[in-house]
Structure 1
Amino acid sequence: MWVPAGAYASLLFLASQVVAYENHTKYSTWMITSMISRNDGVLTGAGDASALLQAGFTQKAFRRWLQQNPHDVHSDLIASHIRKSVDSTIEVVSDALVSVTNSPLDRLSTGNNLIILYERTHDESYRVAFDALRHSIDLQPRNAEGGLWYFTYPNWSYLDGMASLAPFYTLFTELFEFANTTAVPDDMVFQIELLWEHCRNDATGLLVHGYDSSRMAVWANNRTGASPYVWGRSLGWFSMALVDTLELLPNTERYSDARGTLLRHFRDLSAALVRAVDPKSGAWWQILDQPERDGNYIESSGSAMFTYSLLRGARLGYIPSEPSTAVAIRAYEYIVHNFVVDQGNSTLGYTGTVSVCSLNSTASYEYYVERPMLYNSVLGTAAFAQASLEYEILER
């Protein structure tokens, strides 16, 4: 979509107002207006899986901001960008039934905002798009146990996909297929349970990146099929999936067993994340189960995701407030001081985010720590914006 040059100037001006308005302290608004100035989350090409994930994650962060700041001076700007982002995905996701075998579960990340906009506008193009996404789940290949493949790699399931799958599966079923309990809660919880069973290390309580149910991958554990290392961002996606899905599941008898399962997992994982935090920095390593190993480093996107999950989970009463809140506050402050960049043009930048790490690799230690770093990665900036929103609630 063509955007007049003057519109970008206006966006930069609005972003500059955040500095004066918040005196550099309300980082959620500052980062989100900075993302808008970069046109983040808007598909401009064919819309590959990475672009779809970025769009959906941007929409989620912006929607959270609107829910928290409905009367803010930036509300219209941010609501407009959500719609622009969602609209840019319609054509791609409406074709999900055709392209499903070549598209990872990340394609579902835009589903909830398609539903929200449909509910508000009754624009049928949104319905067509999210219906296609929902039906594509039924076509997704599954392993012999019934676990969804994350992508085209036979029998491989990743933690990453749950952040897109579980919240969309849940919201769609609650609104449009309420009688279909085989989908939600049954299948949704089953997908999480399979990952928990295959990927969790009982000694640490942490989950590795994914598993191969056939045990044929070069990295697969002979007994469990699990990959060898705990990659921070994949576990970040999983922790966000748990807290976000818990919030969407109504607290009724229908969902009592599902909520109980997800709550147990979230509490167990949150306690493990508190134990795994680096005592020096207060944040989390790129590979969580290899602290201080040569080449390992504190990574910004996973750290922001864990911060969000702990703060939101504690605020909603899913996990004990302490020590989760204290750990998350310390991590947030480290992130602000070490990864947030004042770019000098009234916008914020974000550093320290690793590029995509795939199990379509050796999945070796060296692979994970040698992947390139990205500046202003949407996966990092959107994660930071959401962590900031939770932090700002504490400051009220």
Structure 2
Amino acid sequence: MADSVIARKDAIITTPGSSDYLKVGFFQTAVLRALDYHETTESACADTQTDWEEYLVFSSEGLLPYLTNATRDTGYPLDRFATGDGLTHLYDKSQNTTIKNALRALRESANLQPRNQYGGYWFYTYPNWSYLDGTYSLLPFLVDYTQRFDPGNAAAVSGDVMHQLELLWAHCQDQGTTGSGLLVHGYDSTKKASWANPVTGGSPYVWSRALGWYFMALVDVFDIVRSHDIFPSELESYIRQRYTELAKAVLSAADKDNGCWWQVVTLPRAKGNYIETSGSGMLVYGLLKGSRLGLLSPEEEYTGVAEKCYNHMLREYVVDEGNGLLGFNGTVGVCSLNSSATYEYYVSVPVTYNSLHGIAAFTLASLEHEMRSNQVL
């Protein structure tokens, strides 16, 4: 799947728009995980690994000119931090000071990012609006940058990471489905948005991809933190607790027939609703990785649903395009709270073929599936 994206040049951006940082950065992360896995298992040929490395260099170098000014960076969504994995990999390989300066500018831009009255990061330029979406790009970047370049700041970063996760947890609890335990797309801390809950400020619906971003952020931050003892133990304990709570809710919300998750998660089979593949891929990845890291018990209850969904996506949404290329379907375009945020809105956003959001999520899910089964698909 990753080879097909690289062959089509789908993940090369020359003049990035506001959403391109996330798409390219997320795919870079998937390629990096594939490299790590296949280097460990020696299951990919040298030519394939060379192609992946060349893609990472080319795509990261193309983004560099747009990420070197911390003040300017704050004009982009929190999605910009998704480029951190690719840039860090490039720096590890080259020790190039221009790349390190770009990483430093990204990190400084977090300090300059506007916050609401509770200290929560604005996701973008919409005042006081915080989204689940930003957690996956921002929080793993913060902890990884800290352990690499700024270990003396580990306690402060840990506190901020927990604070951001907890603000979203508190304000985004699903109010529409009693006891679902799921999280809605985002919140307005001023409660002035047309869609804001008058008590929590939360938006009205659980969007599968936003839920997936938050769930992946939990398990990826946990993975980094558990490997580096510079972080206070409270951070690992906090993430373990929140992850296991959310995993139970995610499991309960899975479709009983195919194991996957609907675009609007809590309204399965409602008119216009459908199984959405980026959110489903993210949640499969989050469950399988959490199981691998020892976070889930009984493990089989969670992995059974995740594998059921994975196999459903493999059968129904992976497309053989011929000439050795694969495509991927069923991924919604960008959903924003800068909208009516109604149910009708979420199910009317067009589905995109070969979306990098969906392909990257499915690639990550595939790698976790392969690690479980010790086979290469």
Q: TM-score range by the shorter chain?
A: over 0.9
Q: Is residue 67 of structure 1 aligned with residue 36 of structure 2?
A: yes
Indicate the residue corresponding to 2:166 in structure 1.
193
How far does residue 211 in structure 1 lie from its aligned partner after superposition? 0.3
* SS of match in other structure, 2:130: strand
Cα distance between partner residues in 2 of 1:382 and 1:96: 27
Amino acid at match of 1:80: E
Q: Is residue 239 of structure 1 aligned with residue 212 of structure 2?
A: no
Distance 1:254 1:32, change over 3 A: closer
* SS of match in other structure, 2:300: coil
- Specify which of 283, 293, 297 is matched with residue 316 of structure 1: 293
Indicate the residue corresponding to 1:261 in structure 2.
238
- Specify which of 373, 379, 383 is matched with residue 351 of structure 2: 373
* SS of match in other structure, 2:324: coil
- Cα shift readout 1:44-63 (whole Å, capped 9, x = no counterpart): 22x12211111111110000
Q: Is residue 138 of structure 1 aligned with residue 138 of structure 2?
A: no
- Specify which of 278, 301, 312 is matched with residue 301 of structure 1: 278
Indicate the residue corresponding to 2:64 in structure 1.
90
Indicate the residue corresponding to 2:182 in structure 1.
206
How far does residue 182 in structure 1 lie from its aligned partner after superposition? 5.3
For structure 1, list consecutive stretches of 5 or more residues without a partner in the other structure: 1-30
**Identical columns (%):** 44
* SS of match in other structure, 2:319: strand
Task: Tell me, yes or no, if the aligned pair for 1:112 and 1:167 is still in contact at 8 Å.
Answer: no
- Specify which of 340, 353, 365 is matched with residue 331 of structure 2: 353
Amino acid at match of 1:302: G
Q: Trace 1:118-129 onto structure 2 (pairs within 5 A).
A: 118-129=91-102
Cα distance between partner residues in 1 of 2:32 and 2:156: 26
Amino acid at match of 2:31: F
Cα distance between partner residues in 1 of 2:162 and 2:321: 43
* SS of match in other structure, 2:53: helix
How far does residue 300 in structure 1 lie from its aligned partner after superposition? 0.8
* SS of match in other structure, 1:348: strand
Amino acid at match of 1:290: L
Cα distance between partner residues in 2 of 1:253 and 1:106: 26
Indicate the residue corresponding to 1:176 in structure 2.
149
How far does residue 177 in structure 1 lie from its aligned partner after superposition? 1.4
How far does residue 78 in structure 1 lie from its aligned partner after superposition? 0.9
- Cα shift readout 1:311-338 (whole Å, capped 9, x = no counterpart): 1110111222221111100000000111
- Specify which of 158, 162, 177 is matched with residue 135 of structure 2: 162
Cα distance between partner residues in 2 of 1:135 and 1:269: 31
- Cα shift readout 1:110-144 (whole Å, capped 9, x = no counterpart): 11321232123110111111111000001110000
How far does residue 253 in structure 1 lie from its aligned partner after superposition? 7.4
Task: Tell me, yes or no, if the aligned pair for 2:182 and 2:250 is still in contact at 8 Å.
Answer: yes
> Normalising by structure 1, what TM-score?
0.90
